[in-house]
Chain A
Amino acid sequence: MSVIETRDLTYTYPGVTKPSIEEVSVTINKGDFVILTGPSGCGKTTLCRCFNGLIPHFYNGDLEGKIEVAGLNVVDHQIHQIARHVGLVFQNPENQLFALSVEKDVAFGLENFAMPRDEMRKRVDWALQMAGISELSERPPHELSGGQQQRVAIASVLAMQPDIMVLDEPTSFLDPVGAEKIFEVINELNKKLGITIILVEHRLDLAAKYANHVIVMNKGKIALTGSPREIFTSEEARLIGVGIPKATKLYQHLKKHGIRLKAVPVTTEETADLLREILKND
């Protein structure tokens, strides 16, 4: 069942003539874990803004084509209606955080839904815990490090328990272990709670193993879609400049020299297993 469906979606920001996305048609199914990638400036963030109604309701501009999210026609529904279904974690956490304490920031969305106090308390604690920042609840967000702020931004969206979470490079400021933890959290939300995930990411080496679907954009258009394995071995993806994980790259280098592994690895574990096999049999 599709939860996001766009048909020939074209959008132009106010004051410019060139559309930022052009004739974008994508279908995202319930429970998908999608990685949205492509060169910087290709329209990824713009497309994400369409998914939660910031476009066209906040940014105005000119939107053509069709877009339906969680069964709602985005153009005919207001942001707060769409926000019940779609949570957006911004690229830059400072654009999202504003309250005087972490806890208040995380509670803000729930307050707007007029949720009873006890339930709100529970939700906030749960979200803080999931994001691994329970101990920061009293701290002012602007005093936190970039990585900690990213976790707060994730917790505040998580608290709303949306059907769909759109995360725009949510781990860019995090150290690798911190990033891995966030990906694990996102993965758990996806696998256990069935939340549909749309992750904008360049660091495919870390994120690829969680995704079942990759969408590559280039110059405002959809360039490629497929499974991580299909995308990472596609010549076109390489030409567009998609960052192929080093594990897959090693496979490609070996293949060039006439050594074929049995399958295309995406993770280091898979690569090590495949190598072990040929090194032993040899």
Chain B
Amino acid sequence: MIEVKDLYYTYPTGLEALKGISLTVNDGEFLAVMGQNGAGKTTLVKHFNGLLKPTKGEILVDGVSTRDVSVAQLARNVGFVFQNPDHQLFSETVEEEIVFALRNFGFEKAVIEKQVDWALNLLDVTQYRKTSPFMLSGGERKRVALASILAWDPQVIILDEPTIGQDHQQKEKLQQFILQLNAQKKTVIVVTHDVEFVAECSPRVILMSQGKIVVDGTAKKILTNPKVLAQASIVPPQITQIFLELADLGLPTDVIDVHEATKILLNRLRKRS
């Protein structure tokens, strides 16, 4: 469990990025952190694995304050996949990249081999095992970064903008994959702008603006509220936009999913005819 208690964070440059955040993320929860550029989303989640320490307030991970443990200790339980894979990747081959952390955590050789195979296969990058990560496309590098974290099987997985640079198919796979992780009781925290992605995964959502949490609730409740979304520079999903425009015809306005939308329209047309 992650408990955030009245968290403030000011960067050394003087920029006040977080202004009093309180939040509890339970084990096995799936949370999306949304909001405009510069709202403090990444700053917030960097506190969860101790990369940043509070200026004021406190973060407890499983009851232990992040001030009292090193990033290395926290990382065993909280894996962080960066927004820009180039901030994370450094090895000469994809395989080495994944082996690195496993070795640091002191896993046995046989376990390392097994975990590497598993992670490469999971993220569909086995064919690049011996390739330099820097020869890969942006989307592929992102998957390698994710594979290297999942390989050591942390309880909490934080993904900063996982869908950036992913093509449609990879995005769908990633989505299945994240839902699957969550179904296995992993805590998944995703920082994202991607409303369509959130509409399809339907996690709990917190919306941030200027260092504060504006609203906390279900995806359906938040994504269909254009007023609060506007505060955070988020546009409703396309399906919601369509239903909002047709509100005067008596259609519901809290629709985020294309299948639900189809069902509602079919019902309405059949009833009439």
Does A associate with B in a complex? yes
A-B contact pairs, 30 of them (CB 8 A): A39-B167, A40-B139, A40-B140, A40-B165, A40-B166, A91-B165, A146-B83, A147-B38, A172-B165, A175-B35, A175-B37, A175-B234, A177-B235, A202-B166, A205-B238, A241-B167, A241-B168, A243-B171, A245-B238, A249-B258, A253-B262, A254-B266, A268-B242, A268-B245, A272-B242, A275-B242, A275-B265, A276-B249, A279-B269, A282-B269
The answer to whether B242 touches A41 (Cβ under 8 A) is no
Check: B58 CB closer than 8 A to any chain A CB. no
**Interchain CB contact (< 8 A) of A254 among B230, B246, B265:** B265
Docked-complex contact B273 and A282, CB < 8 angstroms: yes
Minimal beta-carbon separation of A36 from chain B (angstroms): 12
Given contacts A92-B86, A241-B168, contact A175 B242 (CB under 8 A): no
Contact between chains at A246 and B196 (CB < 8 Å): yes
Once A147-B37, A249-B258, A250-B261 are accepted as A-B contacts, the answer to whether A279 and B167 lie under 8 Å apart by CB is no
In the docked arrangement, what's the CA distance between A45 and B261, Å? 36
A192 to chain B, nearest CB (A): 24
Is the pair A174, B84 in contact by a Cβ cutoff of 8 Å? Answer: no
Chain A interface residue bracket vs B: 35 or more
Q: Write out, one digit per residue, whether chain A residues 10-26 have a CB within 8 A of any chain B CB (1) or not (0).
A: 00010010000000000
| Contact yes or no, B266 A257, CB < 8 A | yes
Contact between A246 and B137, CB atoms less than 8 A apart? no
Q: Spell out B's residues near A (CB within 8 Å).
A: 13, 35-38, 83-84, 86, 135-140, 161, 164-171, 193, 195-196, 230, 232-235, 237-239, 241-242, 245-246, 249, 251, 258-259, 261-262, 265-266, 268-269, 272-273
Decide if A52 is an interface residue (CB 8 Å cutoff): no
- What 1/0 flags go to A136-163 for Cβ under 8 Å of B? 0000000101111000000000000000
Q: Is A236 an interface residue (CB 8 A)?
A: no
How many residue pairs link A and B with beta carbons under 8 A? The number is 139
A278 touches B269 (CB 8 A): yes
Q: Which one of B135, B232, B242, B269 lies within 8 Å of A259 (CB-CB)?
A: B269
In chain A between 1 and 55, which residues have their CB closer than 8 angstroms to a CB of chain B? 13, 16, 37-42, 45
Query: Which A positions have Cβ atoms within 8 angstroms of B?
Result: 13, 16, 37-42, 45, 91-92, 94, 143, 145-148, 169, 172-180, 202, 205, 241-243, 245-247, 249-250, 253-254, 257, 259, 268-269, 271-272, 275-276, 278-280, 282
By beta carbon, the residue of chain B nearest A37 is B167
Is there an interface contact between A174 and B37, defined as CB atoms closer than 8 Å?
A: yes
* Contact between B171 and A272, CB atoms less than 8 A apart: no
New contact pairs (17) apart from A177-B234, A282-B269, CB-CB < 8 Å = A13-B135, A40-B166, A145-B37, A176-B233, A202-B166, A202-B167, A241-B169, A243-B171, A250-B258, A250-B262, A253-B261, A268-B238, A268-B241, A271-B238, A275-B265, A279-B251, A279-B265
- Shortest B192–chain A CB gap in Å is 10
